[in-house]
Homo-oligomer: A and B are copies of this chain.
Amino acid sequence: MSILVVGSVAFDTIATPSGRVEDILGGAATYFSLAASYFTPVRLVAVVGDDFNASHENVLTSHGIDTRGIERMPGKTFRWGGQYLDNLNEAKTDFTELNVFEKFQPHIPKEYVDTEFLFLANIHPTLQAAVRLEMDCVRLTGGDTMNFWIQGTPKELAETLKLVNVLLINDTEVRMLAGDKNLPRAAKKVLAMGPQALIVKHGEYGATIFFREGAFGIGTHPFRAPALPIEEVKDPTGAGDSFAGGFMGYIASQGEINREVLKRALFYGGVMGSFAVEEFGTERLQNLSRGQIDARFQLFRELTHLG
């Protein structure tokens, strides 16, 4: 089954203890698309400027990603600059130039309207909701958001959360959204806002999925997937979006949506996040095989499963 992602395509300038890169292809939708492309056909809705050329597009199309939804506008593509010199767990933003992204109004190509799996990457919640409402056949909607929207547009976000089946955010965002420092309590409050499942990303400690009672199966127990202890994290940019790509891509590749599928998807999310940080930008995600992915899935299993 195809998956549609709506979000940012960007050029990033990144400094980490391992080095520095300038104006490399990035953006949430790019990372998501590449990660998901190893599991299922991906359709991409985004906006780029004149500086997005054929070689950039080729990175996507060579992975079978459908780029008909990429709108070209006069001007420059979204640019972000950030560094992780003191702390690999948190980016310090050096600059943000929205450029063509400032006026982004997602247009869903007619050929995409029947897509059954949807991921709303981190954009304005009102745009997220509009996209979801334009789609007719969606079986599962995943979504991301961030502190900026949680604090700045809480009402709009509340409306969007009613349309999202699985929300994927990090510890800090869950606590902020719920106004509760205790994670399982905060998770319960977020689930009461709309989503049937909440994935909390813990960075190097993995991720936990919390289920609303009765959603996707029986019970209320959460489930936890590990992250891989990695000796050299070259560039953490895009780890969360790659996680989402692995998670949603795996689900879309399966016929059924149930708890066992969601649990495996959580492992695949961790797997794709662990690859993403091994090289700068999307480099590692561009050069993977399904065999390497499944071998790492096994490693994640060995990392957590008793004999």
* Chain A residues close to B by CB (< 8 Å): 88, 181-185, 187-188, 202, 204-206, 208, 210, 221-226, 229-233, 260, 263-264, 267, 299, 301-307
Contact = CB atoms under 8 A, between A and B. Distances in A.
Given A202-B205, A206-B205, A299-B221, A184 B306 contact: no
B303 A305 contact: no
A119 to B, nearest CB: 23
A243 to B, nearest CB: 16
A222 B301 contact: no
11 contacts: A88-B181, A88-B182, A184-B230, A184-B231, A185-B231, A221-B302, A222-B229, A222-B303, A224-B304, A260-B306, A263-B307
A50 to B, nearest CB: 40
B229 A184 contact: yes
Judged by DSSP, the binding face of A is mixed
Nearest to A200: B229
Contacts of A184: 229-231
Given A206-B205, A233-B182, A305 B302 contact: no
Contacts of A305: 304-306
Contacts of A260: 306-307
A155 B304 CA distance: 35
B229 A183 contact: yes
Contacts of A187: 229
A221 B303 CA distance: 7
User: Which of A202, A223, A303, A306 counts the most chain B CB atoms within 10 A?
Assistant: A306
Contacts of A303: 221-224
Given A202-B205, A229-B184, A231-B182, A306 B224 contact: no
User: Which of A182, A205, A260 counts the most chain B CB atoms within 10 A?
Assistant: A205
A55 to B, nearest CB: 34
Contacts of A222: 229, 303
Given A206-B205, A221-B299, A222-B229, A306 B182 contact: no
Nearest to A203: B205
Contact of A306 (B185, B230, B264, B299): B264
The 5 closest A-B pairs by CB, nearest first: A205-B205, A184-B229, A304-B304, A224-B226, A184-B231
